[in-house]
Amino acid sequence: MRRMVGALMTGTLVAGALVAGATAAAMIAAPAPAAADGGGGGEPLQGKLDNVVAASAVGGLAEVRDEHRVWRGTSGVAEVGRSASVPANGRFRAGSITKTFVATVVLQLVDEGAVRLDDSVEKWLPGVIPNGEGITVRHLLNHTSGLYDFKDTLRLPDIVANRWKTWTADEVIRRAVANPPTSTTPGRIFDYSNTNYTVLGEIITAATGASYGDEVERRIVRPLGLHGTEMPGTSPHISGPHPHGYLPTAEGLLDFTEMNPSLFGAGGELISTTRDLNDFFSALLTGQLLSPRLLAEMKQPAVEGRDYGLGLAWRDTECGVRVYGNDGDSLTYQSWAFSTPDASHQVSVVLTPNFKADSDDYIGNFLDEAIC
C-alpha cells in the first residue's frame, strides 16, 4: 500500500501529525549506529541509514548483500521513549511487498495451467465485479483494471477506530465497487489499486480451494525456508523481536504495532524480515519460482513508461543499474526490497516513520549506496 498514511490523512490530521512527529523526535535520541555485521566497508551504508532515520523515522534496519559480504545495520530506537536499539533481525509488516508474493502464486498457477492471464474475473468470481467479463487476471496483476481503490474509502480515524476489526474480502470489494471505476477500458491506464489484489486473493481460493495465505506459505515461505515470514491472517501480533510502529494523531504518535491485518489482506498483510525478503527476491529473480516466460512477463511494464509489471516493480539507480523488487507501506512500517536480476546485489530496508518528513525523499540515497 504505497504511502498509505499520507493518502489517508485529512488536512486537519496532517497538521496534527507534523506536530506529533516533532514531539516524537524530541523524545528520541539522535540515531546511534548499531552494531553492523558482515565485515568492513559498511561505514557509508551506516551513515546513509542514519541520515534517513534522523530525517524521517523512529528507527530503521537493513540488510545489504553483494558478491563479497552481507551487511546488516540498524539505526534509531525500537520504541519511542526507550533506549533499546532496533533488532537487526527484527520482523515487520511488509505492506505491498505482499503483492509480489501473491503475484508469484498466481503466476505459478498460470505455469501449471490452472489459471490463464487472460481469464476474466467473471470466470472465477461470477457476479462479484461490475464488468467482470472485461477485466482479466493480467489487468489485476498490473493495476490496469480500473477498479477503485478501497483504501480511498477510508480515513485514518476510521482505521484507528476499527483497529481490531476483521475485514472480509467481500466487504472490501463492496466498498470499492460502490464507487465508479477509474477507467472504463481495462488494460489501458495504470492506476494502483489495492482492490486488485483483494480480488486476486479470492481467485487463488477459487482455483485452489485454499486461502491465498495458505498458498503463499505452502508454495513460497516453507520451500524457501523463510522462517521469519508469515501471512498472519487476522492475528494482530508480531511475534519475535520487532521495532514498534506508530500512527500520527493530534495527541502524538500512537503505538499501532498491534492491529488486525485483515484490512491489508492479499495486498499487504505479510510479516517478514530483511533477510527473508532478500532470499525471496533472489529465488524469484534467478528463476527458482517461475518459468523464464512468466518471469519475463512480470518485468513487462503495465503501460509504456511505468515501472510496474505483474506484481513486480523496478527502479534505476544513480549508477545506471536496474533493480527489481517492490516497496510497501503498512501504515506503521515502510519497506523497500530490491535486487539485481542475478541477485548479486540486494538491499532490503524498513523504517518505522515518525512523519516528520516523507521517507521517500531520503531513501533513494541509501538504496543507491547499497547497489552502486
**Contact by Cβ (8 Å): 56, 357:** yes
> Which has the higher per-residue pLDDT, 8 or 112?
112
What pLDDT score does 42 carry?
A: 72
> Rounded to 10 degrees, what is the CA torsion of 53, 322, 109, 303?
100
pLDDT at 90 over 60: yes
- Determine if residue 8 is left, alpha or beta; phi over 0 gives left, psi from -120 to 50 gives alpha, anything else beta: alpha
User: Could you tell me the CATH number of the domain that includes residue 185?
Assistant: 3.40.710.10
pLDDT at 224 over 80: yes
Tens of pLDDT, residue by residue over 101-132, are: 999 999 999 999 999 999 999 999 999 999 99
Give buried/exposed letters for 254-291 (b at 16+ CB in 10 A, else e). bebbebbbbbbbbbbbbbbbbbbbbbbbbbbbeeebbe
d(C-alpha 258, C-alpha 234), whole Å: 11
Give the chain's count of helices (H) and strands (E).
Answer: 13, 10
d(C-alpha 294, C-alpha 284), whole Å: 11
pLDDT at 31 over 80: no
pLDDT at 359 over 70: yes
pLDDT at 32 over 90: no
pLDDT at 177 over 70: yes
Q: What is the mean pLDDT of residues 139-143?
A: 98
Percent of the chain with pLDDT over 70: 89
Give the number of domains in the chain.
Answer: 1
Residues with catalytic annotation?
Answer: 96
Query: What range defines the domain where residue 255 resides?
Result: 4-371
Q: What is the mean pLDDT of residues 277-292?
A: 98
pLDDT bin (cut points 50, 70, 90) of residue 298 is very high
What pLDDT score does 357 carry?
A: 94
pLDDT at 322 over 60: yes
**Contact by Cβ (8 Å): 323, 66:** no
**pTM of this structure:** 0.92
What pLDDT score does 7 carry?
A: 60
∠ CA 28-34-40 to the nearest 5 degrees? 150
pLDDT bin (cut points 50, 70, 90) of residue 181 is very high
Q: Mean pLDDT over all residues of the chain?
A: 91
